[in-house]
Structure 1
Amino acid sequence: MSPVGFSGWAESMYFAQPYTISATGFYFIDLEEYQTKAATAVDDFGQPVEEFELHYIDGECAELFNAVRVSQASLAEWFELLDALGRDEDRYRIACHLAGLGYALDELADRWDDYSVYRGTAADYAAEIIADCYNLPGPIVSYIDYERLGREMVLGGDITELDDGIILIGG
């Protein structure tokens, strides 16, 4: 997912694949449509289909959908999370990071305010921290190796590089 052109998840498409091979799956875009179609799904013998495997088909939230392993049991929570995220790309990136660390779907919203997103490199962030925290004379500043300082901050776990030019701070 690129920071430019992020359009959110309003256009997301999902597919519910029945576990029984004698039934046909269906596409859906929201919880209401899923519930309506799931309630009327039957197999070739007229028996109701009870279990579905959910797939993310199209949209920009596949990374988060797969990281939190959305299932029938958590589908309502998934759509609640999307509502809570709104169109906030930074929160989405934080939620993806937290899900990758193993946080459950219901824990993400409680934790994303512990983080912030910085746009720039680790070296840029290191230079900004030095400038904000210290009033160093110009000649001394030219001796600071911001690339190395930024790399040390990443290796030390102080910051996390999510993508090229996207840094996650906090935790």
Structure 2
Amino acid sequence: MMLFYAQPYTISVEGFYFQTIDQYREKIATLTDSFGQPVEEVELQVIEGGQIDLELFEAWQPGQAGIAAFIEAVDDWSYEDKRDAILAIRLGGYPPAAVIDAPGRIDLTVYHTATLTDLAEEFVDEGLFGEIPERLAPYLDFERIARDLHHDGFVEAIVAGERLIVRFD
């Protein structure tokens, strides 16, 4: 479970910690400034959470309007759904609002390979470029194949410490 802190923009008001949307709503409803006026705007910060959840927060940047959906996503989504949402926002140009209702439906392919050169070698080994005669195999330029893969939309990424290759379909 994640731990958040709501920091009011009003400097005379102390913020509060919360873990659930109910805690957030309860505390924000009673937050007032030194004049007794309600404090309506806060900056949300993550204090504690798993690496994938921290990266999702950083990519999503939910703010006050999106914190309920974010907390629900953290609780309900699988690791892969979170990873794909991070990749879609960071690399695919998806706005966070587009991934909220789309866990598991983001159109991308993820390869668990460290570099494009490694992926090029895997593709050759798997026969994606056809049958390569053994006597020609040592002459293959995997760096050039990797550059071609990059031009075809394959991108290197790191999510939660894991090196990946991603291609949006």
Common fold, TM-score beyond 0.5? Answer: yes
Q: CA deviation at 1:157?
A: 4.3
Contact 2:85 2:106 in 1 (8 A): no
Q: How does 1:33-72 map to 2 (within 5 A)?
A: 33-59=23-49, 60=51, 61-72=53-64
Q: CA deviation at 1:159?
A: 0.7
Aligned to 1:162: 157
TM-score, normalization by structure 1:
0.77
Deviations 1:15-54 (A, max 9, x none): 1111222321001122121112112222233333222121
Q: Secondary structure at the match of 1:138?
A: coil
1:114 aligns with 2:107: yes
Q: How does 1:65-144 map to 2 (within 5 A)?
A: 65-86=57-78, 88=79, 90-101=80-91, 102-108=93-99, 110=102, 113-120=106-113, 121-132=115-126, 133=128, 134-144=130-140
Q: Which amino acid aligns with 2:33?
A: D
CA distance in 2, matches of 1:116, 1:56: 29
Aligned to 1:7: none
1:26 aligns with 2:16: yes
Q: CA deviation at 1:149?
A: 1.0
Q: Which segments of 5 or more consecutive residues in structure 2 lack a partner in the other structure?
A: none
Q: Which amino acid aligns with 1:82?
A: V
CA distance in 2, matches of 1:104, 1:158: 19
Percent identity between matched residues is 35
**RMSD over aligned Cα, in angstroms?**
2.4
Q: Secondary structure at the match of 1:17?
A: strand
Aligned pair in 2 of structure 1 residues 140, 58: CA closer, same or farther (>3 Å)? same
